Structure 1
Amino acid sequence: MVLVTVAALVVGYGIVLAYTAYQVNRHLRDAQVAVAMLRADLVAPHAPATQVSDHLATVQRESAAARSLTDGPVWGMPARLPWMGPPFVTVRGAAGAVDELATEVLPDLRAVRHDVLGDKLATGHGSIDLTPLIAAQQPLEHASTATDTILGSVRALPTTGLGTVDSARSTLLSQVTDLAGQLRTTRDTVDLLPPMLGAQGTRRYLMAFQNNAEARGLGGLPGGYAILRADHGKVSFERFGIDSDFAGLDVPTTGFDADFLSHYEGSDVGHFFGNVTVSPHFPYAAELLLRFWQAKAGERLDGVIATDPSALAMLLKATGPARMADGTVVTADNVVALSERDTYARFDDQVERKRFLVDLSKAVGDHVLSRGPSNASGLIKALGNAIDERRLVVYSTAPQEQRLLAKYPVAGQLDDTAGLFSGVVINNAGGNKLDYYLARNVTYTSACPGPDPTATVTIKLTNTAPATGLGSYAAGTADPAQAGQPLGTSRLLVGYYATKGAHFNSPTLDGKPTLLSSDTERGRPVFTATVDLPPGVTRTLVLHVEEPPAARGPVTTWVQPLVLPQTTKVRPASCGTKTR
């Protein structure tokens, strides 16, 4: 009789446990669906507030039910058993994590969604209301901190060997990791924007407009500039100018590291304004730009912004066309060609050409400030794309702000990590505007395992410029060493930025041995070749790079923002198997 009773209790417990597991799975599944809908609402500027609240209530109800079931004795008893406990511990921990997200994080996000999204921030011509951003700082700080804590608890959940449970744990871990990263970025952005937009007092920035038709390491030659003023969210341009405004000035290069000064010794960065962007590391250029302005105007600005016509095209796609004073319509489709190709054919007088480019920059800048805030979501997307391609970079002289910026691509910092790295950076050495036509194809073939891993880097460069029809200013050269070359021949300094500790051997240009110089920037080796590229010609530079055995992948690829997109490929090594 006792055995029958025990058996009945075991069977009954098993039925209850199975039913509880079914209910837990149902509640978590329904919570997951509601979270997906809520997440869509949170990033949709015009989602109704009642809809957001309904989805949040569903998430909270379902997650609370799942947590309640797993916290009870039915679930708690098997969780204590070493031989069957891990699956119960993991499911209970997952239910608790989802419930904590629903109660500790999502309400804060609902509270601030209208403050940091949508058109509420726009108050008029070039003006942003900073009050909602400031109000969002504390809730976002709380939500971010809570999410980091929850992420730690999910990471600590044991793997179980049960595919369904482990898959659910992995999915939850991925989702919380993504959320934590997004919240850190949003929190940092909301912390940065008010002071940088003048919440505590007027800020003034030098904005450099790069001309990618004459390549520099950062992207292009800084042919024009503006002084941008931000005062309690009101953003405006004070003045526009051109690179020749800085002719004849000298600025100190003290404070720059020895590698930078050695690598760019021939660029005369303290005297020639057009070379301040020779390095792909934006903080170097920013400091030089600030020093040139101080030498000219006797004042220290609060930071630097650098951009290029391709970024302006992205912004114009969000705001619509701009109209210049002479009636020229500047659109997302024509701004790059208009500013980096057509002006050289349109104007023989270079002063007149530069005045046209100043007028173009002013028309686009004023238009974006006027129309951009009314399409906040489109503008944010365009800014994000420009930042991702390193076509919009920002530097602040305030140390705390710069430390925050340095965490993100918007700082334009050359990656200094120790992992596998591959980047091609080109500087125009001919003084022409032929890089508008430069096509680049870079292939990194990984090294085979072994004591001396050697990767192969193939760099194909094509000058797509027409053989005739280009003027001598755009297609000529300022380098006497190129005398006798066909018109339209480009002279390029092709720098390969390698993994820290890497070396090279047996470099070839078009299959013939060639010479490379070797320098260092930010602790990273840089191998540079001089390549002359006539119009219509493709030249191929191949390097065999001895990677440090300790370096790990995946390889980080660095793409310089020029006019034509670079084709970048990373290929696995073809490592033959050895036979005995």
Structure 2
Amino acid sequence: PGKLFQDGMINVSALQAVADSLSSSSKVFKSANEKVQGIGDTHISQVTELVDKAKDGFATLNGAVDAAEKVAPVLPQMLGANGQTRNYLMYAMNNVEIRACGGFGGSQGLISVTDGQMSIGEFVPCIARSKDEAVESVDEEDETLFGDHSNLYISGNTYSPDWPRNSQRVAALWKSEYGQDVDGVIGIDPVFLQYLLGLVGNVSLPDGTVVDGTNAAKVLMHDVYWNYPVEESDGIFASVASAAFDKILGGIGDVDVANLVSAVERGAEEGRLIAWMKNDDEQNAIKEMNIDASLPDPDDPSADPVAGVYFNNLSFSKLDWYLNADTQIGQGVKNGDGACSYRITVTLTNVMTQEEARKLPDYVAASAPGTSRDDERLYVSLFAPTGGSITDLTVEGTQFGLFAATWHGVPCYSGTVDLHAGETTTITYTLTTSSEAGDKPLTLRQTPTCQAARDSASA
């Protein structure tokens, strides 16, 4: 690892050689992984322990091989080979004001790469524009589904769950402000930042508070709002993000590669690391790695079926630290036409205590018209796969409800729910996949929340 990453620089030729080697060995690796994963239980505990270790190791290697195979052809150009400079905008999202793609855009910074040499600019607050000043138009389907309001245009570009379209607006806003084109936009949240700090060490706030791999999410999504003046919160977020990436770029060569792969995979699986690339070939590689965070292709009913469950904060608050979102997918039932139906339950809970509700800082509390201070008002969107459907929907525990709609022909339900301190709303529905998807299993893409980090901090 020290020869691949050192002093903020990636050895492009060495990394390419590793990627090519992994890619050319993919058939052997995959065959070996299948054989190892197929080893059954043993009757000797020491042997079982060794087998389990082998299974974990081969699973990690198999993931690395898959990634290498998809990225190898475009890796050199993405790392600025042959003296070219690539510019990537790091877009830091704050889940405590939840948005469908993650969270409200808090700060952003530019990472430049030339022949693998990386440098990072200052993190600055995300750019705000009114609808009349918008530099990039909003898709009519987005506007119809998510509302004709500024959240679709300004720094809250993550209101739509379609990250590629959001990123193009973010990139256009950056160019309008700084006159600079970017080659990609990479979205991260404080929980993913915490995963990375767990590998490279801690950073400090201006007042000396230590932020590390155990508390970064809590500091950035809770403590700054309760313990610091409002006008300092964005600056603290930007300061930690900038210091963290300096630390990451400088210390990445000392990190265990398996742990790094694991952290990146975890962030990607949880939707805390998402990316868009301007170059079509690079974007295809991002899509193959499942970090593109895009909505279903409305023209491809044979694609892998995904159940989309997305949330947006409508209470003008920082209350989503207290949001629990639990989605359960029942056993699939095969239909006569080859489609598969699943019963899905989405349980949303505001876990705030009455004592916390009484002490809420004004900046944290709800301030939207018609809300009380402890009101988690959420806009919920449920997406079916292309060619699929949503039926038999019920909503319990809220005064509002969801309405049927479509996004470029893809069926969905959207609407508002209210959750006061301690309250729960349960949404149940049947999702049926396209008959053209065959036996492909249904997967879930859900807006990432703060709850795991919150529960971990409490423990």
Instruction: Identify the TM-score tier after normalising by the shorter chain.
Output: 0.7 to 0.9
The corresponding residue for 2:111 is 228
Q: Secondary structure at the match of 2:81?
A: coil
Counterpart contact for 1:422–1:444, Cα < 8 Å = no
Q: Does 1:532 align with 2:415?
A: no
- 1:519 and 2:377 matched: no
1:445 aligns with 2:445: no
The equivalent position to 1:198 in structure 2, one of 77, 80, 83, is 80
Residues 384 and 432 in structure 2, CA contact (< 8 A), matched pair in contact too? no
Are 2:303 and 1:397 equivalent residues in the alignment? Answer: no
Aligned CA RMSD, in angstroms, stands at 3.2
2:254 to 354, 374, 383: 374
Alignment of 1:108-507 (within 5 A): 118-124=1-7, 126-136=8-18, 139=21, 142-144=24-26, 183-200=65-82, 201-243=84-126, 245-248=127-130, 250-254=133-137, 258-268=140-150, 271-274=153-156, 276-348=157-229, 350-377=230-257, 378-416=259-297, 418=303, 420-446=305-331, 448=333, 455-465=342-352, 466-477=356-367, 479-482=368-371, 485=372, 487-507=373-393
Q: How far off its partner does 1:326 sit? A: 3.2
Output the CA distance in 2 between the equivalents of 1:565 and 1:524.
31
What secondary structure, in the 3-state scheme, does the structure 2 residue paired with 1:223 have? strand
Q: C-alpha separation between the residues in 1 aligned to 2:447 and 2:398?
A: 26
| 1:470-505 CA distance string (max 9 Å, x none) | 11211222x2132xx3x2111001111123344444
Residues 1:334 and 1:147: Cα distance change in structure 2 (over 3 Å): closer
CA distance in 2, matches of 1:141, 1:547: 33
Contact preservation (8 Å) 1:454, 1:544: yes
Q: 1:204 to 1:451 in 2, by over 3 A?
A: same
Q: Aligned with 2:363: secondary structure?
A: helix
Q: Is the 8 A contact 1:252 1:270 kept in 2?
A: no
In 2, the alpha carbon distance for the partners of 1:366 and 1:180 equals: 30
C-alpha displacement of 1:373 = 2.1
So what's the TM-score if we normalise by structure 2? 0.81
Following superposition, the deviation at residue 524 of structure 1 comes to 2.8
Distance 1:444-1:134 versus aligned 2 partners, 3 A rule? closer
CA contact (8 A) 1:207 1:305 kept: yes
Shift of 1:138: 5.2
- In terms of fraction of residues, the more strand-rich structure is 2
CA distance in 2 between partners of 1:500 and 1:424 (Å): 15
Number of the residue aligned with 2:51: none
Shift of 1:527: 0.5
- Residue identity over aligned pairs, in percent, reads 27
> Counterpart amino acid of 2:443?
T
Task: Give the conservation status (yes or no) of the 8 Å contact 1:213–1:436.
Answer: yes
> SS state of the match for residue 499, structure 1?
coil
Gaps of 5+ in 1: 1-117, 155-175, 567-580
Matched length: 416
The CA deviation string for residues 283-312 of structure 1, in whole angstroms up to 9 with x for no partner, is 112111101111111221111111001001
Contact 1:440 1:565 in 2 (8 A): no
Task: Please give the alpha-carbon distance, in whole angstroms, between the structure 1 residues aligned to 2:208 and 2:14.
Answer: 38
Assess if the C-alpha contact under 8 Å between 1:462 and 1:533 holds in 2. Answer: yes
Instruction: Give the superposition deviation at 1:272.
Output: 2.2
Alignment of 1:24-35 (within 5 A): none
Q: Which amino acid aligns with 1:463?
A: N
Looking at structure 1, the residues matched to 330 and 5 of structure 2 have their Cα atoms a distance apart, in angstroms, of: 48
Q: 1:510 to 1:327 in 2, by over 3 A?
A: same
- Describe the superposition over 1:389-436 as per-residue Cα deviations: whole angstroms up to 9, x where unpaired: 221122221222112221112222335455554231111111111111
TM-score, length of structure 1 as denominator length: 0.65
Q: Greater CA radius of gyration, 1 or 2?
A: 1
Equivalent residue of 2:275, what SS? Answer: strand
CA distance in 2, matches of 1:182, 1:357: 32
Shift of 1:544: 4.2
User: Aligned equivalents of 1:405 and 1:419: distance in 2?
Assistant: 16
Paired letter, 1:498:
A
What amino acid is the match of 2:187? A
Give, as a single letter, the amino acid of the residue that structure 2 aligns with 1:554. P
What amino acid is the match of 1:555? L
Higher relative contact order (CA 8 A, sep 6+): 2
1:534 Cα shift? 0.1
Conservation of the 8 A alpha-carbon contact between 1:208 and 1:304: yes
Distance 1:334 1:183, change over 3 A: closer
Identify which of 557, 563, 579 aligns with 2:444: 557
Residues 253-304 of structure 1 show CA distances to partners (whole Å, capped at 9, x for unaligned) of: 44x6543343234243563222x11122221121111011111112211111
> Which segments of 5 or more consecutive residues in structure 2 lack a partner in the other structure?
35-57, 454-459
Which SS does the other structure have where 1:306 is aligned? Answer: strand
Bigger proportion of residues as helix:
1
Q: Which amino acid aligns with 2:376?
A: S
Counterpart Cα distance in 2 of 1:380 and 1:454: 34
State the distance in 2 between where 1:339 and 1:367 align: 17
Q: 1:430 to 1:180 in 2, by over 3 A?
A: closer
SS state at 1:371 partner: helix
CA distance in 1, matches of 2:135, 2:449: 29
CA distance change for structure 1 residues 374 and 490 in 2, over 3 Å: closer, same or farther?
A: same
Deviations 1:161-207 (A, max 9, x none): xxxxxxxxxxxxxxx99988854531333443332222231111111
- Output the CA distance in 1 between the equivalents of 2:332 and 2:13: 53
Moved more, 209-218 or 508-517: 508-517
Change beyond 3 A, Cα 1:180–1:472: closer
